[in-house]
Structure formats: structure tokens, C-alpha cells
Structure 1
């Protein structure tokens, strides 16, 4: 009678510290596989696919070096299996498996798929990923389904729970958030001091050839020498680089944008999200390293470390809880009834709007953009232009190297598009071009004039913002946080309103030409 166990490891489950690997067992085999279904459920950035496949390959080598038996299958071996379930059933039969085990996927799509798995004569069980700081069983204590849940309240509870930046039960520095101190744009003198990002040169030519051989449809700029970390050693090096080089100015410039420096794509950001979301790094490990740097380096003040801590134990854990508590309802959310298709330049960055051209071209070049580019440039435009949440979400899920549905769906559908009507944000994050002009230098060299609302060369953000408010007044007009912009709109002269709306309509009818 067979006693062999097969354990599945998904591409975002590369956690070397998992309890599975603490003991060697010659009756246990691990399965890591490049899957046709995973490269096809949305159109992915080519660097994203290469990074996950390369990281999976490196994790396989690490497990094998530690004495574990690993079955690694490339697309060459899995191409004839339409689904993961088919592949698992085939392998269980081939290897006479008695027990199949998997770690709970962090995407509802995959979790549903594996929960329906039925293997004749094979026992099936699921384990935790042992990665996140808040267990799923506790989500209902923190997040209520179908209603607004304040991230700030969640964050405070997590700070207390984990005893991070706390002194005698109170927040270190006398306040919970120093966000108001972290909103500086980059001045000319600041540009000369932007640090060189730590980049790697991981050879993925074989993966690129394999993707081409199997006709995998991707987009974005391919890199034969991938700059992203693909193993634990590189991920830890990137973490150390952030703590020593970037953290002293991280919070200060975390909202800034520039196209006046070739380093504008990276600035002071950690770029650790891929390593975290693939689980090469544990959030506790990241926080511990950042806190140690803060304690050792007087150049890192409380505003810098608090801003980073909030991203990891606040926002990251919060969106995961929101995702799972609302998971069955999320796909249907379209509160503002947005339905326009994405403009063609979402796929090539070829737009005269400097801020969007910069954010999208950067994303195509590096599979990366920082949170303000994602929210207040691309997301803001998608919101005020009324773009379809389904299309926008698929684009975000495909283009960013760190994009996995649990983190991308709440960030896109909730935060950027207000499609849930307020589960995350208390108001739409709609803004005119003034915000972008304040936080960037993009407007200085733009084809459009950020000072104009209705002129032929008016900034599209200016006219579309007011059009968005006018179109959604019945829905948003009673929101207390929208009172000020609606008062401003109501006081505007009728002629100015008419001309602004006419300019917006002209832009909406020619989105591809903007």
C-alpha cells in the first residue's frame, strides 16, 4: 500500500521557512509547475511571468539542495494539461500517491479550484501558508463584509497587537501616522541625490524562449537579464539596500513623481513587493530589518519608519482581509456604473498626457510603478473617465510584477475606482490635475495646460474631474467628504460649467487620441 505524499507549491508560495521543509522525508515529493492556466487567465507583463518562473526554478534548486524531492515541470511538460486539477490527477496516478497536500492559495480563483479537487483513493488536505501576520480566522474581528472599514483603525490594532513602534501602550512619537510629513515633491536639488536602485541580472533567456515557443501572449518590455530578485539571497540584499540607502528619505518622497531623472522609476521605494508577495520574504522579517535600521541610524526619523511600517502591517494586511471578507461579492461591484473601454495607449504609453505617459511607459519597461502613480495618475484617470472596472482590474493584475488578486482587487476596484461604493475609501480618490502638478514635474513639459479647464489644450484631468462630479452628483452629492468640491462646482458660473463639460465630452469621445 502506497504511503507517498505529493505537496503542491504555487508560484507565490516560495516560503523557505514553512514548516513543511523542516524535516526531510523520502516519501514526500514537492510539485512546482509552470502552468498554462496561470499564464492565460489575464494578459501578463512578460517580466512578471519570467520573474515568477525564475523564482520557482530557484526555489526548486534550494529545496533539492536541502535534500527534498522536487518535481519541477516547465510548460514543455504541462502544456497538455488544461488545468491544474488535470495535472495533479495525472501525477497522483503516475506516482501512486496516497496523500495530496497544498497550501491555501491567496487567490479565490485558485482556492475554489483546489477546494473542488477530487482524487479517487487519494486523501486531500490543506495547510496555511504561514506568511501573513493576521490569521484568516480573525478577519471578522477586524473587517465587516459589505461596509466601510477604516484602515486607520485596523492599523492601530495591528500596531498594538504586534507591539511595533509602541511605548507604554501609546504610539511612538505621540501620534499614529506621520503621513502629513511625507508629502514632499522632489525639488531640483533633490534630483541629484536620488540613489541608484539595486538591480540584478538574472538570465531568463530560456524562459523567454519557452514563452515564445508556447505562444504565451504577454506585453511589456522583455529583459533577457531580469533586474528583479528571484531568490531569498537577492531578496534579502534588496531589503538591506532599502534599509541603508532608501529608508532615510522613503517617507519624505514616497508620493513624489519625476521625469527629470533616469532614476525616477525607483526613487526611494523599497521595490520589495514582488519578494513579499511571492513569499521569498516574510513581512515580519522586513519589519524587523527596517526597525533595526531605524534604531541604528539617526538619519531615519520616525516619519520615515512609520510610513513604511504602515504599508506592511497596515495596508498590506488590511487589503488582504478586505479581499477575503468580501470575496464572493467583489467581481460584481460597479457602484458608479462605469463602462468605457481602456484607451489603446494603456498598452503602449503613447499619450500626450505626460503624467500618464510616464507612469504607463515606466510600467511597461519595469513591470512596476509606485503607489501614487498607480492610484493618483492611472487610477485617477480611470475613475474620472469612467473606465470599466473589469478592464481596469485585468490591466492592473497583468502589468505589475507584484500583482496577485488578493492585493490588486481591493487596491483597484475599491481604492482607485470606488466601484464598491465605500468598503475601503470614504470618498472617490478623484482629483484634478492640480494634485499631479503639486507632486510632480510632469506638467512642466506636458502638451496640455494644467491651468486650463475648457480651452482646446486644457489638461484632461481638469475637465474630466468636474465632469465626473457633475455626472455623479446624484450618487455622490450627499457624501460629506465631497461637500467642498460640490460647493465649488455649484458656485461656478453657468458658462464656465458648460464649457468645461463640453471639453470633457470632447475628450471622452476621443480617448484614444489624448
Structure 2
């Protein structure tokens, strides 16, 4: 007999390792282990979600006829690591070897490859593009831009296609999806589930073991099995999808979710399949229940961006997470861990992250990510923070979004220019600035928005690298036209702000 490893982000009944093996003879191994729960200080909600979903998935496998060797975190014989548990179970069952589906992190791939057990790794074919598919697409391309990859994924899946042409005549409706924050939101947010006995047991365990981790464990309302996740998906398609496109970049003080789907954690854990999610959105469009710009924008996030960043992660290799093309080395400010700040946008994004384990893509990219890039914070520290604090974060999806998209630390593999902005972008897309202690209208002075100061500081210190970038010429032209005393004032005040932040002062 063989062991069949199922990881906490592989909770899919059609997993390649399960398909390869025989439920009558082989044994599924699942384990809650300290190594996986603590290699970064995960948000307590992330740990609870993963363990509860694992326990329920194990029971579903048993009902389907599998023998499952499941180790809980507090089991006295727990070896503390995935490889340790496999070695222990191999001895217990006199197993001939281990079959597993490729993990989504180089760290685990190496650990499993180094095991003193005969093992067989299978591709994770829950994704639309295999590693070979992505490499074939990327071969001989000077720039690996997502848009062209996305078009191939549309053709491959047939989603929103009219024969061989895109639905509506255009591939991308992003220009329709940039409306500023609405005055009100008529969607109640994601479906919330009352914890059942399985979840309650896990919550008690997590509360006792991880009470010092950043993040609030309660209230806990996530779906923890596929049935619940599908109910949530149907709830969002009906109530949130119709206006998702218009306001997907907006941010509001009093609405944490707006019209966002909040399906990333369910997709990335394996409770939902990417094609079923996209097909549900497409059906809404075909039935006249959601507009094309909303449905196309959502589908692009799933079969375009999600598949693309996975391709980048595996193509670039294990050293991708350590890249630092801009040489940034500032430590992560305490405000990312909940310390007080005068910047309302940062405070709102971090508080939401602490409470929910969630922030949407613009909060991550243009608030916390934008600030980290402008301030020159060490990409490795920012990467570890994002991996720790978000429930949907796994390295294959998180690292390219942070190292590449947010921080430009990969030297432009993903982004054609740094995604930076002054405070004006946040002011345009949110109501954050109206209740901030800084004034977004002020470009200099004691009350000037730090984003305004740091924006020019970033451009000035990286001028040699970016002055020839065709998408940044206008920025440098504006900077060069400023009076020299004004430029000196901006740089001086930006430097003083960074010094205060480095010294631990409230900024």
C-alpha cells in the first residue's frame, strides 16, 4: 500500500494524488503540524480556517470510502512537520511509498523531495495552465504581460467567447471598472456561517495555541467545506457581482467588502474550482443578471491574473521571494502590526486585515503596498507580512503579487513600471482622506500627506533606473519643472518623515 498526502490547500476531491491511488488499498495522510502553522506568524483566522476545512475534508474522504490517517495539532504523537508525519505513518502502515500532488511552495517541494521515502510527485492539474503551458507561452517573449496570457486562457476555456472572438468585441473592459467609491453600498457582504461543533473545537485549539499572533480569531464566519463555499458563491453572484466591476477599485471607511467576491480563500484552499467559479459568473451574464464589464473583470482575475502569477512563481524559481532589485532595506514599520498611525488609509487597511484576515486588491496594492514601495521597506519583510496576515495567502499567489506587482523587486518581470501614486489616487478612489490627520491637498508642510512627499522622494532616489522608462517620463517632467527650493523642501520633509518612522514615532 501507499500513502497519499493531502495538504491543507489541496482540499479537492479530484486532486491528482487521489485520482492516482486506490481507496481500497492506500491510506490518505493529513496532518495539522506546527511547522506549517508557524513558519510565518499566520493570522489566527487562517489557521482556524485551514484546520477546520481539513477536518471536514478528511471526513468527506472517509464517507467516500478512503482510509484516512489524520493527525490533529494536539495529538501527542504529532511529529510537528509534514515530512515527519509521513515518515511516522510509513512506518505505522509499512507503506511502500508516498504519492502527493505538487505543493504550492518551493519550501515544501524541497522538503518532500529530500524525504528518505520513495515518493511520486504529480502535477497540480486543478489549474488551467500547467507549468509547461506557461513556459511555452513565455518562451521567446521579451515581456511577460498578463493581458496576452489571459487571452490565451479565454480561448482555452471558451469563457466569454463568441466563436473565436471575445464577447462584446473586446477582451478587456477594465476602463469601465474604475469608478470612485459610491455614496452607499446595497450588498450585505459575504455570506457568514455560524461555527458548527467541528469549527468550535478548532477555534478553541487555535485560541489556546496562537493567541499572540497578529489578528482577531473572533468573530469567525468563513465557509469551511465545499457546500458552504458554493452557497457563498451563489450569494455573491446574485448580490455582489452586478456592481463588482464598477466599484472593484473603490475603498470606503465603513464598508470593508463593498461588492468583492471573497472567494480567494476558498479557491486557494481547494474548496472551489476556478472553472466552476468563472462559469457561475458567466451564467449570470448570459441570463442578463450581471453586466459584461463586471463578469469579464472577475473572470480576468481568476483565469488571467491568478493563473499568470502562479506561472511566474514556478518559472522564476525558489529565489524569487528574495529578490530586491531596488535595494530597499528599511524595516517594516510597527503600524503594519497595528501600532497607531496618523494615516487613515493605512490604519483602515491594517485594522481590517487584523479583524478579518482580508483586504481587497487595491487596499493591498495601492495602500499598504504603495507605501512600502515608496518608503523603501525591505521586500522580504513585506512578503512575510502579507503571507502571514491574509487568509487567502499561499506563497505561489502571494509572492508574485508582492515581490513583483507591489514592490517592483523583481525588476519588472510582472510590472512595466512601479505601481506608485501620491495621495491623490487614494483620495479619488476612497473616502479615507476626509477623516485623516494629514491633508491630501497639502504637498508640503507639517500636514502634508506622506504619500505626496514619498512619491517624489522615490522618483528622485531611483532616477537613474527609471528616467528612461517611457511610462514614467511625464512624472520626471513634472518633477524637473518644480522650482529647486520646492524640490529641496519635498525631499527634506520626506526624509524627516522616514527618520521619524524609523525611530518608532507615530507617523
Same-fold status (TM-score > 0.5): yes
Corresponding residue number in structure 2 for 1:151 = 146
User: Counterpart of 2:119?
Assistant: 124
Q: Does 1:293 align with 2:284?
A: yes
**Which one of 405, 420, 444 corresponds to residue 434 of structure 2?**
444
Counterpart mapping for 1:156-235 below 5 A: 156-188=151-183, 191-203=184-196, 204-211=199-206, 213-214=208-209, 218-223=213-218, 226-235=220-229
Q: Which residue of 1 aligns with 2:59?
A: 61
User: Structure 1 CA distance, aligned partners of 2:68 and 2:347?
Assistant: 44
The alpha-carbon distance between structure 1 residues 410 and 215, as it changes in their structure 2 partners (threshold 3 A), is closer
SS of the residue corresponding to residue 410 of structure 1 reads helix
> Partner of 1:71: helix, strand, or coil?
strand
Please, which moves more after superposition, 504-513 or 442-451? 504-513
TM-score by length of 2: 0.95
In structure 2, the gaps of 5 or more residues are none
Q: Which runs of 5+ in 1 are unaligned?
A: none
Structure 1 position 332, deviation (Å) = 3.0
Question: Which of 69-78 and 440-449 deviates more?
Answer: 69-78
Distance 1:8 1:391, change over 3 A: same
* Residues 182-215 of structure 1 deviation map (CA, whole Å, 9 limit, x = unaligned): 1111232xx1524343111225443243335546
Alignment of 1:268-417 (within 5 A): 268-296=259-287, 298-348=288-338, 350-417=340-407
Aligned pair in 2 of structure 1 residues 472, 20: CA closer, same or farther (>3 Å)?
Answer: closer
**Contact 2:31/2:85 (8 A) holds in 1:** no
| Contact persistence 2:17–2:100 (CA under 8 A) | no
Q: Are 1:240 and 2:234 an aligned pair?
A: yes
The structure-2 alpha-carbon separation of the partners of 1:146 and 1:400, relative to structure 1 and needing over 3 Å to count, comes to farther
SS in 2 for 1:142: helix
1:143 and 1:325 in contact (8 A); partners too: no
CA–CA separation in structure 1 for the residues paired with 2:420 and 2:442: 18
2: distance between equivalents of 1:145 and 1:340? Answer: 36
User: How many Å separate the matches in 2 of 1:432 and 1:141?
Assistant: 38
Distance 2:141 2:375 in 1: 25
SS of match in other structure, 1:70:
strand
Q: 2:273, 2:298 → 1: CA distance? A: 15
CA contact (8 A) 2:5 2:99 kept: yes
Going from structure 1 to structure 2, the CA distance change for 1:282 and 1:375 (only over 3 Å counts) comes to: same
TM-score after normalising by structure 1 = 0.94
1:82 CA displacement: 4.3
Structure 1 position 83, deviation (Å): 3.0
Task: Judge conservation of contact 1:36–1:79 (CA < 8 Å) in 2.
Answer: no
Instruction: Output one character per residue of 1:85-113: Cα deviation in whole Å (capped at 9) or x when no partner.
Output: 22211111111112321111111111111
Matches within 5 A, 1:408-427: 408-427=398-417
Shift of 1:147: 6.3
* SS, match of residue 52 in structure 1: helix
Equivalent-residue separation in structure 1 for 2:499 and 2:141 (angstroms)? 34
Q: How many residues align?
A: 501
